[in-house]
A and B are shown apart, each in its own frame.
Chain A
């Protein structure tokens, strides 16, 4: 364990031969001044190709992915990633197209972006869209920039200083608002797990630039008073930003635009099945209502008489937020997914995602405590608080690894102590749900009967991807070793 590529190989081994120079070679110092030339080669590995392949194959086997089994990380929507989408994104016309080859030579790519944008607008009930943000948090930042631009244009920026944020929000939300200089005002949740309307009202005045709302929220609950919330914000002249990370709960049957939302981001790597890749690439398109359209990033993809082009002529645009047009390869995958599912399939997604979550909740809330004991959307939270003197949710999660399944998100949202946040998605079978529920129920018994087995978990069962026992995170923080 712990072996890196630097620990293998020998002097002068290489994983790839390069062609010989097919021209007269010139002295390096004729081409670059000697003082600009590197004196010492970077200490990269020296390994043959077969060693590279075996090393990374070995590493892959130390991982657990959606392909390995249920991966119920709450708010991450770890659904199956259709392989056809991988093949399509790798077609030469996409993978080997240059972003500056010109509109004329890029009609297929531009058409795909244009149509995907149209679909996402309808799915969100919005008017216009940018596909440029590379991830959800990048979309949030884009949204905050749009809000800033709006109030700059209305000459209210000096007084619109606050962004209201329910305390169940993803950590990216406050961080995104802070970059743009907004003051973050936390809004508490009420006993139902929803935005506390009285607390919200107490903060409503002309200093409010907007609210960032995740709906369903990270407790997996739909904000039943969403129409009231958006109305209240609009009444004081604020804008409503909708974090669409949890869109899987409502896709195909309800739309943020119909809830009075002004800006929404989508996570294509969540709702629209593109692979998470170990932490990206994702994609976080941002859609807006008509009045905010002039501020969207440039370039925008436009269509004129069956020809598609990139349009930079938007003087009030916030500008560019990506070197080019965003994670295009991810857009291809999401496009293929939407076309394959169609309207009926998208509705089946939310139907089964919510059904699966409620089924697990119904089974597990008999053993664990559900702090909000009611129907949930695509995810739900449980707590281990009060179940054991000595054990924590962390121990439960680590013990689950011994049962060959990936634990849920833990310790998030922050408002529930010792929390597990569970999102099964629609792409698991009832048998897998039952296996997961049985495992968690068994662990609850073990908490009483054999606490030690939880404390020592995981027990390193390589067949399931766990190649080590519990790792010392405190040591890694105290004495960081960040390179070999």
Chain B
């Protein structure tokens, strides 16, 4: 048998250990597995590879993908090409962060518990909510969990879901809703791209568990949250927000949101072909015991020194089992650490400035594109760093031309079936330069 570098036991070690156990053959350890099962075993058919060989093999696979180091990206739709400060990958790679688990032994996990507490605090600041957990899987499933929590608190099962919600999130909601027996009612949008308030009629509001709103929504349009909570009264106002946009937008907590969720990927997390991502989840203190997910809380040790522990674990599945607030256990801790370091690094003014860069650049590009013949902005509402362009030519054709010139030109909205005609969703982050945007416009003009 080859010696594997991750397995220290030598044949001599094995012999000594078997002697201590009182066995003579290693196979005797597996005597409890029925022979019939062992007999059916089939190997995968893979020879072991050395680290060098695996590195070559997998690097070759990586090279078969396009990436935003290679292409100038205007592609967003929930995952954005933001700049990631160099210190983030360095710090999260420290073995004590990377290779530990859920902080079950608080005294050996003060590092993790402290950053969890910091993360919770930062998310509360960003959203103007009172309490946040330390992460969910992603923006889509966090929204689904918000729905389950609203159902549990209100005892009702009907949810209003806007048609301008990111369709990838909507698909998650539909799965969870079917599983948990919830009813989803679609809310249309208007020519501004915002939800149609006229559709929120009293008959729709009867028996309502929650209203879901995304801001900026799938079309990049900023929703006006004012007055929504008054309209739905005891039902939950659930807001899915982009955390970078919250650097400049009035936070949902000020508008009476009961739960704020969001996709945390913009906060220093690589796009990674769509995962690992980061689900953000915040609520009001009076619902804290109904909230899903892990939380760190502040306490003191035997000498009165401040320290942190996992708080309110009696909500969680390992204690409450089928009565738990959620089944979530392993979450996206390391991604929440990315976001914590990101927010600490940018800091109070940095996040605002970053949001302004996104906003200004997106508006520059939107104006240039809409000045071209055959192109127009699809919606009239205010937008942040993403917008929909109505095009005369087929978006798929435009994207092909752009790709040949080294651009990921955005997302063709045709397959989503949300809008009539030809529409392209274009995202602009702080990474895009004026030169890149001018070239983008030039290519569109000639396409």
Contact = CB atoms under 8 A, between A and B. Distances in A.
Given A281-B276, A345-B4, A468-B307, A56 B62 contact: no
Contacts of A63: 96-97, 100, 108-112
A168 to B, nearest CB: 12
Nearest to B328: A137
A351 B10 CA distance: 12
B91 A53 contact: yes
Interface in A413-450: 426-430
Nearest to A432: B8
Interface stretch (A70-78, A203-211, A383-391): A70-78
Given A96-B68, A430-B9, A340 B274 contact: no
Contacts of A341: 4, 48
B198 interface: no
B97 A60 contact: yes
A250 B33 CA distance: 9
A44 B21 contact: no
B18 A100 contact: no
A19 B118 CA distance: 27
B382 A473 contact: no
A140 interface: yes
Nearest to A330: B276
A12 B349 contact: yes
B219 to A, nearest CB: 15
B327 A140 contact: yes
A134 B138 contact: yes
Interface in A158-185: 170-172, 174-181, 184
Given A322-B137, A483-B132, A64 B45 contact: no
Q: Which of B135, B247, B271 has the most CB of A within 10 A?
A: B271
Nearest to B28: A375
A77 B147 CA distance: 32
B159 to A, nearest CB: 16
B369 interface: no
A356 B20 CA distance: 11
Interface string B80-117: 01000101011101111111111111111111101101
A378 B372 CA distance: 66
Contacts of B59: 88, 91
Nearest to B305: A1
B305 A354 contact: no
B9 A429 contact: yes
Q: Which of B71, B110, B171 has the most CB of A within 10 A?
A: B110
Interface residues on B, range: 35 or more
Interface in A447-484: 456, 458, 460, 464-473, 475-477, 480-484
Contact of A134 (B38, B68, B69, B141): B141
A323 B138 contact: yes
B330 A269 contact: yes
Contacts of B63: 93, 108
A36 interface: yes
A21 B85 contact: no
A28 interface: yes
Contacts of B408: 98, 101, 105
A114 B162 CA distance: 34
A383 to B, nearest CB: 18
Contacts of B226: 35
Contact of B359 (A31, A93, A377): A31
Q: Which of A28, A92, A100, A111 has the most CB of B within 10 A?
A: A100
B66 A97 contact: yes
Contacts of A128: none
Contacts of A23: 360-361, 364, 434
A134 B276 contact: yes
Interface in A261-282: 269, 273, 275-282
A92 B67 contact: yes
B344 A348 contact: no
17 contacts: A21-B356, A36-B249, A38-B247, A49-B345, A97-B65, A105-B66, A174-B317, A179-B326, A180-B179, A327-B275, A346-B44, A355-B14, A401-B105, A472-B302, A476-B297, A477-B312, A483-B132
